[in-house]
Structure 1
Amino acid sequence: MKATGDDVRTVVASLPETTEQFAWGMPVFKVAGKLFLTLPEDETSMAVRCPIVDRDELVLAEPAKFWIATHEAGNPWVRVRLAALDDREELTAIITDSWRLAAPRALLEKTD
């Protein structure tokens, strides 16, 4: 799959209470005001929330797909190369997981 920033936007738009803004020179996406995804590197990758333990395992297992930006090393974020994703399901799963990590509990309860 050769995912694009537009593919990311389509998935994000399907999730409740999301907004797109522009910050730090790139598009950023929030749920209920809380950041859950950015589109750096000219929208060829995305940065998503991911628990550090899981993130480290992802990077070790699939370094061509996932990596950690130096300035995010101590934070629960992982970078994802959009062109390396297997399919739309994987893109959707990664974005939804990040959204769920940032969404308020009341919103999660309402959507589950």
Structure 2
Amino acid sequence: MEAAAFRDGDDFSAFKFIEKIAHNYVSSPVLSAYYHSVLCDTKAVNLARERFTLIAEKCLSFGAQKDMLRPDLVAEDFPLIFSMLMTILYGRSLKERNFLMERVLSLLYSGLLSNRCV
């Protein structure tokens, strides 16, 4: 995701970042569950969190998208958003995970949009 964020430049929006995580949950639920089970406070985990936050900050900095998002949305909100997306992991099949992804994204986007866009 880091490579995509910095390669795609302004095209890697907050929405694309969220959708990339959601698609990872659908296609690789075991890997995603493992990643989120690592709650230890190690140097490697802390570095990964810092890099994750930098990607989120970059995604939030795009001009036209800023007007669409809630003004109080900050990079530190992204771990919470991605925890909400973990609901996708409850799907027992690819079909169920795809359904859950679409539903969760729909609900999340309603909450992330500014009042002007709703």
- Asked if TM exceeds 0.5, the reply is no
Question: Aligning the two structures, in what range does the TM-score lie when normalised by the shorter sequence?
Answer: 0.3 to 0.5
> By percentage of residues, which structure has more helix?
2
Q: Which has the higher contact order (CA 8 A, sep 6+)?
A: 2
> By percentage of residues, which structure has more strand?
1
When normalised by structure 1's length, the TM-score is 0.34
When normalised by structure 2's length, the TM-score is 0.33
